[in-house]
Amino acid sequence: MDKIDIPKKYNLPNEVKFCKRCVISNQRPRITFDAEQICSACRYFDYKKTIDWKKREEELKTLLDKYRSNNENYDCVVPSSGGKDSAYVAHELKHKFGMNPLTVTWSPLKYTDIGWDNLVNFNDSGFDVIMGMPQGDIKRRLSKQALIEMGDPFQGFIYGQVLFPVTIALKFGIKLIFRGENAEAEYGGSSKSWNKKSLPMEEFKKIWFSNYSLDFWLKKGFTKKELRFFYPPAMEEFKDKKCDSYFYGYFRNWSNHSNFYYASKNTGFKPNNRRTEGTYTKYSSIDDKMDTFHHWFALIKFGHGRCTSNAAREVREGYITREEAIALVHKYDTEFPKLYFKEFLEFIDINEDEFWDIAEKMEKF
């Protein structure tokens, strides 16, 4: 297999530098560092402290008043896995702001027991859930192809995760979607994204068609019929319909910690009874057995793993110091995800030698 030039492919700086405030390096795609060597995610956290959140809440109320349903119809879609973040968004929209959300779940590649329990608890706490569960064999082939091409078995999953809630919104005639935080701002993108509140349909279409071309996958041997859940017929329906996606994190002061406590109290969310491999946390992205491989491949491509992302975030939120974060990264960041390795190989349908061949092709260092 030909080795992929990761720095070139992702436009990474030659010299590796670490943020002086958190633990992230400049090898995270799209992150920027300023003259004081502070990363854009840390700067966004400074900026967040200056935001008038009361005013943002008023802005949210004005938006909701425009869409609120006064009959039995749903008035917004919340893409939801049953995890703490989406549970917080859906519950607050319903109980604090009197909305009638329809929650839409894109099923993980392979459910963990705790992930399934949390979804059921969320459902029990008073939410209608529509689940998209594409055919397993296609999901697996797509994951395999994405792993070989991009070093990320999750790429296929992401198509559905982004597009399926839009499809359902269009089918139900719902014009408003609430996603969680604006990841580009929270985890380190350009400062242009800091005040971004929504992804209007026009922009959504542009991103979708340019970055995630259907043709690419058709050339890899998939048929349109097989990909209907990933590139559903609703693509045609996009033409005249309007359905805007808003970031809930623009309106409300987003915190993973607070969302965890909120969801534990209100929607029966439970953390795992053990930490996730490759990090020290027990409550983030715990619903998919294959998830640790997405993070492990990021580690070998960019040199930072899941622990770095988690610890950087907690330094910014003020829960741990930079020194504590560095110790955690040394301890957990490069841990190989053994727990579901065999299941991963079976799921992707490769043997161990093929796995290491792919890893070698993607490895940056």
Could you list the residues that contact Zn ion (CB under 5 A)? 19, 21-22, 39, 42
Handedness of CA 316, 322, 326, 327 (dihedral sign): negative
Question: What's the rounded Cα separation, in Å, for the pair 157 and 60?
Answer: 30
63/325 with CB nearer Zn ion:
325
- In degrees and rounded to multiples of 5, residue 111 shows phi and psi of -60, 140
DSSP secondary structure string, 52-65?
A: -HHHHHHHHHHHHH
Q: How far is the CB of 275 from Zn ion (least distance, A)?
A: 23
135/190 with CB nearer Zn ion:
190
Handedness of CA 10, 12, 16, 19 (dihedral sign): negative
Closest to 129 in 3D by CA, of 65, 173, 72, 86: 86
28/94 with CB nearer Zn ion:
28
Closest to 112 in 3D by CA, of 331, 282, 328, 349: 282
21/179 with CB nearer Zn ion:
21
Q: How far is the CB of 187 from Zn ion (least distance, A)?
A: 10
Q: How far is the CB of 311 from Zn ion (least distance, A)?
A: 11
287/314 with CB nearer Zn ion:
314
19/119 with CB nearer Zn ion:
19
Q: How far is the CB of 331 from Zn ion (least distance, A)?
A: 20
Which residues lie closer than 8 Å to 361 by C-beta, 6 or more apart? 1, 2, 3, 4, 151
Residue number with the smallest Cβ distance to Zn ion: 19
Question: What's the rounded Cα separation, in Å, for the pair 292 and 285?
Answer: 9
Q: How far is the CB of 189 from Zn ion (least distance, A)?
A: 13
The residue with tokens 């910690």 is 257
Q: How far is the CB of 40 from Zn ion (least distance, A)?
A: 8
